[in-house]
Structure 1
Amino acid sequence: MTTLSSATPRVSPWVLSAFWFGTAFHWLLLLLILMPHDVVRFVGEGQKGTYLGVLTAVGAVMALVLPPLIGARSDRSGRRLPYIRLGVGVNLVGLAVMALAASALAGMGGFWVYVLGFLLVQFGNNYATAPYSALIPQLVPPEQRGRYSGVMGLLQAVGQLLGAVTAFAVGLLKLPVLVSFALIALVLLVPALITLRGVREEGGAAVQAPRGPTLTWRQLFAYQPFLWVFVTRVLFALGQYSVQPFLQYYNADVLKQRDATTSTSIMLLCIIVGSIVSALIGGRISDRVGRKPVIYVAGTAMALAALLLLVAPSYPVALALAVFFGLGFGAFTSVDWALGSDAMPSASSYARDMGIWHVAFVAPQLSSAPQGALLDWGNAQGGNLGYTLVFGIAALFFLLGVILVRNVPEMVGRRPLTQPDGNL
């Protein structure tokens, strides 16, 4: 069997995290800038929230099902890199289909071609995600995962920063939609190649990974560290997806920005700058004091920012709150991968279990459909009630995540289970 080593780090954290940099750029520009803009062009103002929410939710179904299945297959084969290669290839094909549909814009028929392209993007990206997610717990010792997770969080923030700057430049220069999709494809592909070339599978210098029990799904969720990490990640993701898809509409409807695309890009820049400041520091701190204290501070900051955005008196104040939210978000992402990796119970099923853990982030995207409908309904009542409901719900989810993360046992420095019988 071809495997990767978990004994010592055999790859730089920057090389290992490069693919996540490209993925962060990809999703920020696609989900937060291009898709909201394209949906309005396809369906009009009156149904924009509903259709964007449905599109996001349909993609989330793919992301919900695929990672655990592909992760289990990757575990059985002992390979990670071939899955990443194939997934990136399909992802690029999907981007091409979306670009062609958006540039043609042939009414609702074009919209369904756009949806098909988005499904290909989701299929490809999630096909690669579970095998890729297994690399941190498999290659990095527990006592160094905070540092590696911090680098991953930092590169995620930098990728998002580059995405926001690109969106601003594209809007300012009025570049064709094909250019935006071509940039997404390029920035996804190059970092993916860096990771693929930098991670060695056996046949190089890698060592057999430690084996352990392959737990059933019931046993996996009976393992308390995994259960509570999964639950709290769901809550934080619910908070994020209650607001994130609708930021462009918030800028237009609440902050009264004439160029909502540009103002949203600037707001995202502020969030990302805050994230960069806290990302690398948070990961290193978590290796010393534990993951949970960082989560407490991060989640509270995000909840406060979501609530205060409802009463922001002006766009500059909203930008200051965006920086504050980013400080919390960066700290959270800096320990997110470390917390998830620490909670993996068995070395024999890292990819499957990380794929299931990834579901905790993806499944809440399904809430975008009802949240979009709630947004449209509330706004139809007047007074931007929809934004009050959606942002308030986001704050509630963040606070619940902070409260329940207390149930996660502190796992820093612990090794996965190795009992052959799979007992917990």
Structure 2
Amino acid sequence: MTFSPAAAPRVSPWALSAFWFGTAFHWLLLLLILMPADVVRFVGEERKGTYLGVLLFVGALMALILPPIIGARSDRTGRRLPYIRLGLGVNLAGLAVMGFAATALTGMGGFWVYVLGFLLVQFGNNYATAPYSALIPQLVPPEQRGRYSGVMAMLQAAGQLLGALSAFAVGLLALPTAVSFGLIALMLLVPALITLRGVPAEVDRLGPAGGGPTLPLRQLFAHQPFFWVFVTRVLFALGQYSVQPFLQYYNVDVLRQREGGTSTSVMLACIIVGSIVSALIGGKISDRVGRKPVIYVAGGAMAAAALLLLVAPSYPAALALAALFGLGFGAFTSVDWALGSDAMPSARSYARDMGIWHVAFVAPQLSSAPQGALLDWGNAQGGNLGYTLVFGIAALFFLAGVVLVRNVPERVHGRAQGEAG
């Protein structure tokens, strides 16, 4: 038995995207707050960068490899929910192992137990989210994907904001590390249960989806809508990761902020609040006027913010530019998922193809190392040249994404844009 999004059971956009809220909270608090501090405690100040970098690199590799494999397996069975349940369980078990190592163990022995827990977290989260990523294209008709994608983007941003606020509260109250791991587990579990209860069980009883054959990888990238959506997502992600890892250094070196961590947290909060404001609006607008006009405006705003940060006269001005970047980023994120869903070539391979599409966001994270080297080299020349180079390159990536997204044959209400009307 086969099905199409139009015939799929209805599900609330808030319930469908609740798990994304939990994963956003999970990764922000874990990757940006807990892991850097825990690695220092295990290996010391002198080796912290090396060991944290290796840990994050291994995690990124798992995020690159697992989603297409697990997604393809989910497509063959036509089932989604069992994968989410099992992946969630492994993820929670991994958090328990990491929390135990962080609170009860010391030295390199404790570090390797911590690594084991992190690998379980990565495996479980990717095992769950690969099939989960297929639910929007599988269940939502094309004319509604902008609204659903906007809700997803807004919930992700809200999860990140709450994660940042929670990290601040935990530090302010000097709560034990175990409390933070318990909070992450709770904030992952509850939204996941909302999604599992909100998505009808009929999804797993309909069998593999119809809508064309499963394309081999070579033919998948020969499919023009998928290819150009993949390329433009890579470019936008490269722009994001050209700037994001170095914001704390920028605050200290360029804006002369003594408390780099605090000033960067405020700047990130401005970005996240801006993205929450624009996420839902951008998604709704894209259902009416198309995806690409929203991306043109969003990419232009992010490129402008990256360049203007180089000449920001003060910290408050930089915060205003951070909010502008957030407005662009939220609008882009809200449309990005909808455009990606529209570009999937076959309903029979939604989870596999969405997993491959996700690689376009994960792989550019590996660019932080050469960008960091460029930053150091440029700054060594004097005049904060490194920041000019890195932020300038980010703007070029955003602008290239805006230009090349024109090649995507956008679909409106289930038809090619050129056929509409």
**Structures share a fold, TM > 0.5?**
yes
1:117-136 alignment, distance < 5 Å: 117-136=117-136
Query: Which secondary structure does the structure 2 equivalent of 1:75 belong to?
Result: helix
Query: Is the contact made by 2:299 and 2:398 (CA closer than 8 Å) also made in structure 1?
Result: yes
> Residues 307-322 of structure 1: matches in 2 within 5 Å?
307-322=307-322
Distance 1:162 1:203, change over 3 A: closer
Question: How many aligned residue pairs are there?
Answer: 416
Shift in Å at residue 195 of structure 1? 0.4
Counterpart check, 1:220 vs 2:194: no
Are residues 370 and 197 of structure 1, via their aligned partners in 2, closer, same or farther at CA, if it must alter by over 3 Å? same
- Give, as a single letter, the amino acid of the residue that structure 1 aligns with 2:303: A
- In structure 1, how many angstroms separate the alpha carbons of the residues matched to 2:336 and 2:73? 24
Mapped contact 1:2–1:77 kept (Cα < 8 A) = no
8 Å contact kept, 2:84–2:127: yes
Kept in 2: contact 1:3–1:202 (CA 8 A): no
Separation in structure 2 between the aligned mates of residue 387 and residue 224 of structure 1, nearest angstrom? 35
Map residues 224-263 of structure 1 onto 2, 5 A cutoff: 224-263=224-263
CA distance in 2, matches of 1:395, 1:246: 15
Q: CA deviation at 1:394?
A: 2.2
Residue 367 of structure 1 corresponds to which residue in structure 2? 367
- Quote the offset at 1:51 in angstroms: 5.2
Q: TM-score, normalised by structure 2?
A: 0.89
Instruction: Note the C-alpha offset of 1:254.
Output: 4.2
1:98 aligned residue: 98
CA contact (8 A) 1:3 1:79 kept: no
Aligned residues of 1:5 and 1:208 also touching (Cα < 8 A): no
Tell me, yes or no, if structure 1 residue 20 matches structure 2 residue 10: no
One-letter code aligned to 2:68: P
Q: Please state how far the C-alpha of 1:20 moved relative to its aligned partner.
A: 0.6
Asked if structure 1 preserves the Cα contact closer than 8 Å seen for 2:300 and 2:398, the reply is yes
With over 3 angstroms needed to count, the CA separation of the structure-2 counterparts of 1:366 and 1:203, relative to structure 1, is: closer
Bigger CA drift: 65-74 or 41-50?
41-50
Cα distance change, pair 204–53 in 1 and its aligned pair in 2 (3 A): closer
Runs of 5+ consecutive residues of structure 2 not aligned to the other structure: 417-421
Work out whether residues 76 and 208 of structure 2, in 8 Å CA contact, stay in contact via their aligned partners in 1: no
* TM-score, normalised relative to structure 1: 0.89
Deviation at 1:125, TM superposition (A): 1.2
After superposition, residues 246-325 of structure 1 pair within 5 angstroms as 246-325=246-325
Q: Percent identity?
A: 84
Change (3 A) 1:401 1:114: farther
Q: CA deviation at 1:213?
A: 1.0
Does structure 2 conserve the Cα–Cα contact (< 8 Å) formed by 1:241 and 1:364?
yes
Q: Which residue of 2 aligns with 1:144?
A: 144
Given that 1:22 and 1:159 are in contact with CA atoms closer than 8 Å, whether structure 2 keeps it comes out as: yes
Is 1:160 equivalent to 2:149 in the alignment? no
The aligned amino acid for 1:278 is: S
Shift of 1:359: 1.0
Whether the 8 Å CA contact 2:306–2:395 is kept in 1: the answer is yes
Alpha-carbon distance in structure 2 between the residues aligned to 1:247 and 1:181: 26
Alpha carbons 1:7, 1:140 under 8 Å: kept = no
Q: Which runs of 5+ in 1 are unaligned?
A: 417-424
RMSD: 2.8
Matched-pair contact (CA < 8 Å) for 1:209–1:347: yes
Measure the CA separation in 2 of the matches of 1:19 and 1:90.
15
Query: Deviations 1:314-337 (Å, cap 9, x if unpaired)?
Result: 332222121111000100111111
| Higher mean C-alpha deviation, range 24-33 or range 348-357 | 24-33
Q: Judge conservation of contact 1:95–1:181 (CA < 8 Å) in 2.
A: yes
Q: CA deviation at 1:59?
A: 1.2
Q: Distance in 2 between matches of 1:90 and 1:4?
A: 31
Structure 1 residue 32 displacement after superposition: 2.9
Question: Deviation per CA, 1:329-375, whole angstroms, max 9, x where unpaired?
Answer: 10011111100100011111111111111111111122233334444
Counterpart check, 1:342 vs 2:336: no
Does structure 1 retain, via aligned residues, the 8 Å contact 2:5–2:137?
Answer: no
CA distance in 2, matches of 1:400, 1:62: 28
Shift of residue 6 of structure 1? 4.9
Preserved contact between residue 78 and residue 208 of structure 2 (Cα < 8 Å): no
- Of the structure 1 ranges 386-395 and 201-210, higher mean CA displacement relative to structure 2 is found in 201-210
Farther-moved stretch of structure 1 (163-172 vs 271-280): 163-172
Corresponding residue of 1:201: 201
Q: After superposition, give the CA deviation of every residue in 1:83-104 in whole Å (9 maximum; x if it has no partner).
A: 1111112222222333344446
C-alpha contact (below 8 Å) 1:49/1:375 kept by paired residues? no
3-state DSSP of counterpart to 1:310: helix
State the alpha-carbon separation in 2 of the partners of residues 396 and 36 from structure 1.
30
